[in-house]
Amino acid sequence: MTGTGSGTGVDDRLHHVVIIGSGFGGLFAARALKRAKVRITLIDRTNHHLFQPLLYQVATGILSEGQIAPAIRDVLRNYPALRTILGEVEHIDVEAREVHLDEFGKPLTIGYDSLIVAGGAQSTYFGHDEFQAVSCGMKSLDDALALRGNIFGSFELAEAETDPEKQRRLMTFVVVGGGPTGVEISGQLRELSRRALRHNYRMIDPVDTRVVLVEGLDQLVGSMGTYLSRMTQRDLTRMGVEIHLGATVTDMDEDGVEITKKDGSKERIPAATKVWAAGMRAAGLGPILAGAAGAETDKAGRVKVNPDCSLPTHPEVFVVGDLMALGDLPYVAETAMQSGAHAAHSILRRLDGKPTKPFRYHDLGTVAVISRFTAVAQIGPIKIGGFIGWLVWLVVHITFLTGFKNRFGALTRWAVSFVGRGRYERALTGRWVARTKRPAEPA
């Protein structure tokens, strides 16, 4: 089956831009093309735009999934020249300028004049792919919902457990990776256990929860510099987070984690819940595109591009966000936003007969929340911590949350969670309960 029509009532003779991925890169590319005389097809395997920096708040019960993952069809409902297709890209034929995908089990081919590939990234386990089966990642909505079930389920199981050793294991959480994501989830786990869950249980005291943060480097949030790293470590330690710097995870199973410290000693940490927030690599679309276009990739599987984000061998194809390898750009949401918009503007410049310009990244800073009213932020040469840092975090995230309803809802939930101690999103479904039941003993 071949799809050539736009399905939108838009002139099929217009320049056709296909965007793969509805994350920050794809969304900002589409926004930049809203008023252009082109037709657009957006392809993604999920039906939502994910505000990934707040996944940890879904996992810890602060926000609902809808507040950080609005339906992409609704977000782009006022784009009459844009068609959205839910499907899995299987192959890109750069010679024929076609994208081949699976749409609910049916093959579909979409032709393009220009292509923007914003496929994002996935977790990397540094040669230990077996860790994926016994840990929770922090890259997708499925990851966050699975982790939320593990977190709140662990407290329920601990309440029902009579063996103190098993209780301790259930109430131990190991977070691997000391970047912003690892710091934020560690801080929220302590906030959850010492504030939100107080007086909720009778057989356990959530304050006894053990949160362990493991980082392979010698400092946390290393990209933010020594000053903010020390501030982060100090604040997390005061909250009760157990920090292991210069340590690596050498083994992991259902029952716990083995870490090797920088002095060579090993420690076994019994833990029911393991959170993997260490490192990332390009999503599977990277190798697919590189193989089709004869492009080079870096060690993380990112596709090497020209200064304008286009492929050296096929200038009509642009790679943006976490999937592109260009200089030493930070792989954060802001890079995806800016490169997605740049790719769209480059297409429009070509249509106007103008040459494209090199992509110039404008660093708007990095922010990481440690606890309620406490965060660290780096904006250019300015380094901020404490409550002022938290205000910066608040402004940044409210600014980039998609849709007024999402912003209002997030502010309401933050007020309840940070000023008060409530966590609305704590429901465990019957499916989770069924999964925890032990099989009947044979007669």
The reply to whether 95 and 214 lie within a common domain is no
pLDDT at 1: 38
The reply to whether 285 and 274 lie within a common domain is no
Catalytic residue among 98, 184, 215, 425: 184
Last residue of a domain, one of 351, 384, 401: 351
Q: What is the mean pLDDT of residues 46-73?
A: 93
Q: Is 184 an active-site residue?
A: yes
pLDDT at 123: 87
CA gyration radius, the chain: 23
The reply to whether 263 and 307 lie within a common domain is no
Is 426 domain-assigned?
yes
Least confident of 59-73, 80-94, 313-327, 423-437: 423-437
Is 67 domain-assigned?
no
Give yes or no for residue 251 having a pLDDT over 90. yes
pLDDT at 408: 78
Q: What is the mean pLDDT of residues 20-36?
A: 95
Is 138 domain-assigned?
yes
| Banded model confidence at residue 443, pLDDT cuts 50, 70, 90 | very low
The reply to whether 247 and 389 lie within a common domain is yes
Last residue of a domain, one of 321, 351, 381: 351
pLDDT at 8: 56
| Banded model confidence at residue 3, pLDDT cuts 50, 70, 90 | very low
CATH label of the domain that carries residue 306: 3.50.50.60
Is 21 domain-assigned?
yes
Query: Which amino acid would we find at residue 106?
Result: K
The count of domains in the chain is 2
pLDDT at 308: 97
pTM of this structure: 0.90
C-alpha 281/C-alpha 322 separation (Å) is 8
Is 271 domain-assigned?
yes
The reply to whether 221 and 310 lie within a common domain is no
pLDDT at 364: 83
Give yes or no for residue 21 having a pLDDT over 70. yes
The reply to whether 309 and 340 lie within a common domain is yes
pLDDT at 415: 81
Is 103 domain-assigned?
yes
Q: What is the mean pLDDT of residues 413-425?
A: 80
Comparing 100 with 120, which gets the higher pLDDT? 100
The reply to whether 34 and 119 lie within a common domain is yes
Are 292 and 301 in contact by the 8 Å Cβ rule? The answer is no
Last residue of a domain, one of 316, 351, 386: 351
Give yes or no for residue 168 having a pLDDT over 90. yes
pLDDT at 438: 59
Give yes or no for residue 421 having a pLDDT over 90. no
The reply to whether 241 and 171 lie within a common domain is yes
Q: What is the mean pLDDT of residues 159-175?
A: 97
Is 159 domain-assigned?
yes
pLDDT at 315: 96
Is 52 domain-assigned?
no
pLDDT at 284: 83
Range of the domain at 266: 129-278+372-432
C-alpha 2/C-alpha 369 separation (Å) is 47
The reply to whether 13 and 91 lie within a common domain is yes
